[in-house]
Amino acid sequence: MITGSEALLRTLIAEGVECIFGYPGGQAIPIYDALYDYRDKLRHVLVRHEQGATHAAQGYARVSGKVGVALVTSGPGATNTITGIADAMLDSTPMIVLTGQVPSPLLGTDAFQEVDVIGITLPITKWVYQVRRAEDIAWAVSRAFYIASTGRPGPVVIDIAKDAQVGTVAYEYRPVDFIRSYQPWPDINPEKVEKAAELINKAEKPFALVGQGVILSGAEAELKSFLEKADIPAGSTLLGLSALPSDYRLNKGMLGMHGNIAPNRKTNECDVLIAVGMRFDDRVTGDLKTYAKQAKIIHLDIDVSEMDKNVRTDVKVLGNAKDTLSAITKLLNPAKHAQWIASFDADGEEEYEKVITKELYPQSGQLRMGEIVRRVSEATGNKAVLVTDVGQNQMMGARYFKYTQTRSVVTSGGLGTMGFGLPASIGAKIGAPERTVCLFVGDGGIQMTLQELGTVMQEKLAVKVIILNNRFLGMVRQWQELFFNERYSSTEMENPDFAAIGKAYGMGTRNLAERDDLDDAISEMLAYDGPFLLVANVEKCGMVYPMVPAGGCITQMLY
């Protein structure tokens, strides 16, 4: 007989968990007390805020492919995880959040630090469950791992009453690999596969849109085989970046609001559009009334609810991208679309001349965000993990960082959570300790979760933090300049001495303001044995171009 708390820990270990991100509190003390005896088997990372626990768990999951785990107490501890749970839901990140809860006899009495965790999190999770008996803990946790990690991944919340934590149970671990009402791997319809292949074989201007579903299903090799056989150029969504190497000949860049000109324009020129593991987000499509109206559209996705949700498609292929891509590829005729692929070059040259050269190779003026991002990427051999916060730093990171291997981008896509970057970089470094982790963050976003520098210090994590400091909430300021008559309402920031703060947390630090010092500063940062904070003072009114105005046609980009 063991306690429910020990049953919880044994089940986590049985499910392959090596690290938990958490913050203790009154209604989770029994779990933490049991954890004291499992310190050699379960690493616990003490974050400085429960939101940080969820974002760290997300970063861990995104680079490792494993389920991230967060452990918090009841009441405010639980409610502080809401942003991270919603973020994980929108970005299909496998995560389990374990929340302590008041003893079951007190449920519904408005007891101290009681909150309805189930009611609050139900709309933003794949599954939620409240455990009131010790004998239900192992079952619920195993079920949670199965649901979180299979099909379209996502977050699960298990709310554990305190009496379940301290009660005793004859423990037995039974892994869950089947739930009658849940079919994570839908059967592939051969007729749909044949119709998709038929359309592609007849296409003269095929174009593939690569989403995060390719990475989540481990279908990178299958994607390459698919593209190569039919000679199909591809563009990536924000979260699909790194599914293909940046220098791959058929990779034509990023789609969307701040994407590359060529893939955006060619979306409205292709005759067959193949969307793989993406959900036609509004930041990718722009105005749906003008989006790819000339094309036959094929949608490959594991989630039936995404089919025809935003864009009406001609062929819907439901299933795991790894399997559906393989099935379609077998039916494809080898093809060459040299002229179509070459047509991307003119748009690429236009963007290079009008946007990229100005951002990466400025002749004068203050440092620009893009040039810093590119130089850091090159200095790592384009092998680092890119973590970003949200805003201009995010878009500059996505546009100008380069990738040679998969699972190299950690960013908040669907929810766009400022404050995501720093705790996510903690999880990313723990999830891929052998890789260099570079965080690009704005001066606004860093101050939302700045306290997590304490976690970096305590865990001695060699994350490389680059603050792109423009003394503005940069993306909001950009919108104010373009669409609100330069009325900069509440976006200019007076900032602290970030380098001094970094030193207080035991980090290597450097202030950077001059272009001539850029390479030396990057070399110092990457060579430093430990965490490093590089404060890059960039131009105050920098702009991220190209830009498709919100709700505009995807081909009508501002330069």
Q: What is the pLDDT along the chain (559 residues), one digit of tens a residue?
A: 999 999 999 999 999 999 999 999 999 999 999 999 999 999 999 999 999 999 999 999 999 999 999 999 999 999 999 999 999 999 999 999 999 999 999 999 999 999 999 999 999 999 999 999 999 999 999 999 999 999 999 999 999 999 999 999 999 999 999 999 999 999 999 999 999 999 999 999 999 999 999 999 999 999 999 999 999 999 999 999 999 999 999 999 999 999 999 999 999 999 999 999 999 999 999 999 999 999 999 999 999 999 999 999 999 999 999 999 999 999 999 999 999 999 999 999 999 999 999 999 998 999 999 999 999 999 999 999 999 999 999 999 999 999 999 999 999 999 999 999 999 999 999 999 999 999 999 999 999 999 999 999 999 999 999 999 999 999 999 999 999 999 999 999 999 999 999 999 999 999 999 999 999 999 999 999 999 999 999 999 999 999 999 999 999 999 8
Contact of 397 with 374, CB cutoff 8 Å: no
Contact of 127 with 451, CB cutoff 8 Å: no
Distance CA 283, CA 549 (A): 10
Distance CA 260, CA 545 (A): 9
H/E element holding 480? Answer: helix 474-483
Distance CA 554, CA 291 (A): 7
Handedness of CA 58, 61, 62, 64 (dihedral sign): positive
Q: What one-character-per-residue DSSP string does 196-210 give?
A: HHHHHHH-SSEEEEE
Distance CA 433, CA 461 (A): 9
Distance CA 300, CA 315 (A): 9
Catalytically annotated residues: 50, 112-113, 162, 475
Strand order in the sheet with 315-318: 251-254, 234-236, 206-210, 272-276, 296-301, 315-318
Residues in the chain: 559
